[in-house]
Structure 1
Amino acid sequence: MDCGICVAPGRFEVAPRAWPMIAPPGWRLVDIAAIGICGTDYHIFEGKHPFLDYPRVIGHELSGHLADGPDAGQLVVVNPYLSCGTCRACLRGKPNCCAAIEVLGVHRDGGMCARIAVPEANLYPAEGLSAIQAAMVEFLAIGAHAVARAGLVPGDRVLVTGAGPIGLGTAIFARLAGAEVHLSDLSAERLATARRLFGFERLQEAGRDILAGDLAEGFDTVFDATGSAASIMAGFPLVAHGGSSVLVSVVKDDITFADAEFHKRETRIIGSRNALRADFDRVIAAIRDGQVPTDAIATEVLPLADLPGRFPGLAAERGAIVKVLVTP
């Protein structure tokens, strides 16, 4: 079968691999229907991912049809986070931050191919969704998980910094939670896209002092989805007294804050990693109920055979892209 492989930084190829015919005990075979390309894939292509060995079959935003068993043909969403089940995090119901986690397409080969074997516990029915919609669930679940971690209540004022796909997903689910959602980004183009395609009107120019007028007291929750240490630290003063800072993105740099301000505000700093089954189910239900504008999310759908020629351009132009999806 043909697979999408990052052979080395800057080099993406479609090459044959063996077709999986038998799944290990407790695993299922899935015929992949659609794959979303995300920031992780672009970082792998650019050689910027710290936890990856080349060559690697990429792809972790996956939908597919069960290829074996009595329910063969059923559309499923793939949870790409493979957990050990025995560490303290797993035993406490937090497999999303398993101490030995492996992510498809990062720590092991992913799903940019025709068929893959996946633990059965990582496959969630996607009844009522199209294959393209089902391939969007994973990245949206990251935002849904961040919103759940924040514990938003209707009427909360929130700021989402970073209007890329993860930030937009976070903003969508914060809005569904009843929050007043503000978006900030360095890119005027991304902010315009957030307004045009998703109806967000409270747009804040990054780097400008926005604590004035009605916003003088700050935001009950600030979500950072930028992947920038400077942005995370710039967001701390924007948190209102009694509020929270939720770190959706991850950075390699140290993060610092003024201790006096932290204690004065009784700030909560919350890490948010990956997503749980409940977050996937929440997203699936929201898409099924028409609460998520999936047509606006899907910038383009292209066949795997076209991706080698398109990948460099997509990586370079991703600021103008919400989500590109690939069909094998």
Structure 2
Amino acid sequence: MKAFQIISPLHTALKEIDAPACRAGEVLLRIRYVGFCGSDLNTYLGRNPMVRMPVIPGHEVGATIEAVGTDVPDFLRPEQHVTVNPYTNCGKCAACRNGRVNACEHNETFGVQRDGTMTEFVAVPWQKVVTADGLSVRDCALVEPMSVGFHAVSRAQVTDIDTVMVIGCGMIGLGAIVRAALRGAKVIAVDLDDEKLEVARSLGATCLLNSKTEDVHARLMEYTGGLGPDVVIEAVGSAPTYVMAVQEVAFTGRVVYIGYAKSDVSFQTKLFVQKELDIRGSRNALPEDFRAVVRYLQQGHCPTDKLVTYEASLEQAGEMLQRWADDPAKVFRILVKF
């Protein structure tokens, strides 16, 4: 069967690999759509420190069940539309023992530390299959990135009395915007691109800030009555936005970082103490975050067509990565269709 592989920075190829067997406790999936993630783009550009190359990318999955092995519960049936929880957990590290399996010390994510799903079939343990009845198989590929944003909102403990600023309106940031709005918070969206900000508005943001053309601090003070946002969720992963989060959050606020900066970041650490901040990381997502996204999408209110910038064939996958690298600000998601 065909698979797409990133061999080395800026070097990709199609290859033939053996089709997987469906063993006991496993489900064989026919891959229909795979989304390119920011981590895939960083792998392609040689900027992903966690990847093991060469690698088959892909962990944002829209699939149908092809077959089920023995010892698989009967709620999983052939032809169902599903997505995949693409993370592993060891069950032994501190994170796993604390029930936070999403942050497993020894996690291996599809397409990063192990080969991913940009191929025709994959076999996965049944526990990693997320059913998505009522969703199109294409929309199933949007569940994982949105779930990462949902998880960040849970980490921030957002409630209906909070004002939440989300920095970065890519797919993960949009997931955070949706979840914060669903919890009744006032949501401020910050990005460099007005088109992305308008999508953020359609998903629940009530204040839009273009950090390239506007004075973010002045606008925040105006919108929050001089207090600053109660919560800042950073979904970019750059040094300036890391610093912005700490500078702009309200006294006694919460800062949650999803993205990780690729260079060292210098902070005025007095703000940590002076504001008595809660500063938290947010990694991957938990099973309940996946279920929450599926339930949200099942309601049919999400303008999913606006979230998909390009659809491409497997043969065009390398070209699509280069197109994204050439103009990253204009891409929400690229889906590779099988």
1:264-284 CA-to-partner distances (Å, cap 9, x unmatched) read 322100111000000000000
Amino acid at match of 2:191: D
1:54-97 CA-to-partner distances (Å, cap 9, x unmatched) read 21111010121222226222221101101112223213211101
User: Offset of 1:309 from its aligned partner?
Assistant: 3.2
Contact 1:36 1:136 in 2 (8 A): yes
Structure 1 unmatched ranges of 5 or more: none
Aligned to 2:229: 219
Aligned equivalents of 1:268 and 1:26: distance in 2? 41
Aligned equivalents of 1:53 and 1:275: distance in 2? 22
Aligned to 1:315: 325
Alignment of 1:77-88 (within 5 A): 77-88=83-94
CA RMSD of superposed structures (Å):
1.9
Amino acid at match of 1:322: F
Answer yes or no: is 1:269 the counterpart of 2:262. no
3-state DSSP of counterpart to 2:151: helix
Aligned to 2:71: none
Answer yes or no: is 1:203 the counterpart of 2:208. yes
Answer yes or no: is 1:242 the counterpart of 2:252. yes
In structure 2, do the counterparts of structure 1 residues 28 and 232 end up closer, same or farther at CA, with 3 Å as the change threshold? same
Aligned to 2:18: 18
User: Offset of 1:193 from its aligned partner?
Assistant: 4.9
Q: 1:289 aligns with which of 299, 312, 319?
A: 299
Identity of aligned residues (%): 34
Contact 2:6 2:57 in 1 (8 A): yes
Contact 1:96 1:273 in 2 (8 A): yes
How many residue pairs match? The answer is 326
Amino acid at match of 1:102: E
Which has the higher mean CA deviation after the structures are superposed, 225-234 or 99-108? Answer: 225-234
Contact 2:66 2:78 in 1 (8 A): yes
User: Offset of 1:14 from its aligned partner?
Assistant: 1.8
Aligned equivalents of 1:11 and 1:231: distance in 2? 30
User: Offset of 1:312 from its aligned partner?
Assistant: 1.1
Aligned equivalents of 1:232 and 1:308: distance in 2? 31
User: Offset of 1:289 from its aligned partner?
Assistant: 1.1
Aligned to 1:73: 79
User: Offset of 1:29 from its aligned partner?
Assistant: 1.7
User: Offset of 1:201 from its aligned partner?
Assistant: 4.7
Aligned equivalents of 2:336 and 2:179: distance in 1? 25
Report the TM-score when normalising by structure 1.
0.93
Aligned to 1:174: 180
Aligned equivalents of 1:93 and 1:166: distance in 2? 23
Which has the higher mean CA deviation after the structures are superposed, 51-60 or 297-306? Answer: 297-306
Report the TM-score when normalising by structure 2.
0.90
Aligned equivalents of 1:294 and 1:117: distance in 2? 27
